[in-house]
Amino acid sequence: MHIRGDHAELVVGGRLDVRSAADARTVLHSALDAGRGDLVLDLTELDSWDATGLGVIMGAHRRAGRTGRRLVLRGVPDRMQRVLVATRLHRILAIEEDAAAPAGAAHAAARPVTRQHPQRGG
């Protein structure tokens, strides 16, 4: 796994899994703590993720909220997009459409997601 970028945009490549989770978490948290505004996480070079890697992304999403920022996923590969839809996380995470995709080819779940408040009730 490799991550390059700064406190505004990071490119994640390789595998985000149990072996790379601790390093990825450290980099993401440092970037979130150091900057302001959206942190864009470009996943176009990401080969795969496992449940631990997805947990790192969700942890970064929560930390972003606590720091007054927003984590935005860009370039989510189709197979990973399907995981986000299956787990309904596409409703929670901010996901940018792939501007390079042909018109109409973007998956419905790739629409930008606005921050939603948890449902109240009980």
Query: Over the stretch 37-66, which tens digit does the pLDDT of each residue have?
Result: 999 999 999 999 999 999 999 999 999 999
Residue 115: what pLDDT? 39
Residue 4: what pLDDT? 87
| Pairing between β-strand 38-49 and β-strand 94-95 as defined by DSSP bridges | unpaired
Asked whether residue 109 carries a pLDDT value surpassing 90, the answer given is no
Asked whether residue 94 carries a pLDDT value surpassing 60, the answer given is yes
Residue 100: what pLDDT? 53
Fold classification of 2-110 is Transcription Regulator spoIIAA (3.30.750)
Q: How confident is the model at residue 92 (pLDDT cuts 50, 70, 90)?
A: very high
